[in-house]
Amino acid sequence: MRKTRTTLSDGRALIYYDDGADAGEAVPARPDPRGLPPAATHSERRHDRLLDEWVVIASHRQGRTHLPPADQCPLCPSAPGRSTEIPAPDYQVAVFENRFPALSGPGGGRCEVVCFSSDHDASYAGLGPDRVRTVLAALADRTAELAELPGVEQVYCFENRGPEIGVTLTHPHGQVYALPVLTPRTRRMLDTVARHHRATGRNLFDEVHDEALADGSRVVLAGDHWSAFVPEAARWPYEVHLYPHRRVPDLAALTEPERAELAVLHPDLLGRFDRLFPTPAPYISAWHQAPVRTGRQLYALHLELFTTRRAADKLKHPAGTESGMGQFINDIAPERAAAALREV
């Protein structure tokens, strides 16, 4: 992988990642001609004392770009007469600091955008193994680098796809959040895994993974280094968790053979989601990584992938019980969901 650093005109970082020395010339670090003023963003953290959870207030994001037409996409390469966030005529993978970050200023943290391809109409599932490996290398690199920033407690890599999910830019991209706090979900999993380890001496992540493989009815696919299965208590209509067979804390800890197989299996899963319905499935693809300083020996890197679509013409909306009380009700049995994903 080749890495080229530069900055945008307002001082934000921009990094190009290329497939390797055999990929042709590196993307030149061209200057950003837009002359943007320094970014004026401000987020703050507020503590919900009843739930013991942090909430981020980021009111500056109200004005962020929302579903622009393709010829005004800020993630496409720049062209004569049209400057974008990527001041280059083409690129392979590009990462830059978000212009409208959810985390900034006194609230702490950092938000980055990861562009998977210069092709506006591409998808992660269709990138091909070589390009996916470059994306994975970029995510691992960002995980390691952002974890070194002062005050960062957790690095979260994810992709949202589809306006039904709330996506505001349709160009194929993901995001990386360097969080100044542990998310409620991570903290809860850590507490549960630690209690289980104290009581039994065993790792609960390993047990969940091993039991799914032994049962078999919820397994979607399995390779030499990774397995994907529908969790026994899936919250979403179609939800798959992808685990490496070797427990590791984060993407940066994966070996080259593990990354190579992941570059095949992850797009395979996304393709199966798309073939469930006549139109591409909206989804969230979320990497759960160990916190920077807490529980790294017990935590297990894994991907949680789910779609909010429960039928060709129906979406699963978090309604009264889910949004109001956090009590999920799933319309599709996990075993049935796994069978459907295997068959497609």
Q: Which of 161, 183, 205 is the last residue of a domain?
A: 183
Q: Which of 162, 183, 204 is the last residue of a domain?
A: 183
Contacts of 191 (CB under 8 A, 6+ apart): none
Type of residue found at 4: T
SS3 68: coil
Q: Which of 164, 183, 202 is the last residue of a domain?
A: 183
Query: Considering the domain boundaries, does residue 178 fall inside one?
Result: yes
Contacts of 269 (CB under 8 A, 6+ apart): 220, 221, 228, 240, 242, 305, 341
| pLDDT score recorded for residue 25 | 60
What is the DSSP code string of 176-226?
A: EEEESS--HHHHHHHHHHHHHHHHHSS-HHHHHHHHHHHH-TTEEEE-SSE
Number of compact structural domains in the chain: 2
Q: Domain limits at 248? A: 185-343
Query: Considering the domain boundaries, does residue 42 fall inside one?
Result: no
110 with 208, same domain: the answer is no
210 with 315, same domain: the answer is yes
Supply the residues annotated as catalytic.
173
69 with 139, same domain: the answer is yes
53 with 128, same domain: the answer is yes
* 240: CATH: 3.30.428.10
CA–CA dist 307, 315 (Å, integer): 9
**129-146 and 256-275 helices cross at what angle (nearest 10)?**
110
Query: Considering the domain boundaries, does residue 274 fall inside one?
Result: yes
97 with 194, same domain: the answer is no
Per-residue pLDDT band for 107 (boundaries 50, 70, 90) equals: confident
- Residue 55 near residue 45, CB atoms below 8 Å: yes
Mean pLDDT of 5-29: 81
- Of 153, 192, 163, nearest to 67 by C-alpha is 163
pLDDT in tens, 300-312: 999 999 999 999 9
115 with 207, same domain: the answer is no
151 with 201, same domain: the answer is no
328 with 243, same domain: the answer is yes
The number of beta carbons lying within 10 Å of the beta carbon of residue 286 is 18
Query: Considering the domain boundaries, does residue 40 fall inside one?
Result: no
Query: Considering the domain boundaries, does residue 228 fall inside one?
Result: yes
What is the DSSP code string of 77-141?
A: BPBTTB--SB-SS--SEEEEE-SS-SS-GGG--EEEEEE--S-TT--GGGS-HHHHHHHHHHHHH
27 with 169, same domain: the answer is yes
- Residue 241 near residue 265, CB atoms below 8 Å: no
Query: Considering the domain boundaries, does residue 38 fall inside one?
Result: no
Contacts of 296 (CB under 8 A, 6+ apart): 249, 290
Per-residue pLDDT band for 38 (boundaries 50, 70, 90) equals: confident
CA–CA dist 193, 295 (Å, integer): 9
CA–CA dist 248, 144 (Å, integer): 14
Contacts of 6 (CB under 8 A, 6+ apart): 14, 15, 16, 29, 30, 31
115 with 204, same domain: the answer is no
pLDDT in tens, 154-194: 999 999 999 999 999 999 999 999 999 999 999 999 999 99
Average pLDDT of the chain to the nearest whole number: 94
253 with 265, same domain: the answer is yes
DSSP state of 39: P
158 with 225, same domain: the answer is no
| pLDDT score recorded for residue 24 | 57
CA–CA dist 222, 228 (Å, integer): 6
pLDDT in tens, 223-278: 999 999 999 999 999 999 999 999 999 999 999 999 999 999 999 999 999 999 99
**Residue 34 host element (H or E):** none
**184-200 and 204-215 helices cross at what angle (nearest 10)?**
90
Type of residue found at 95: V
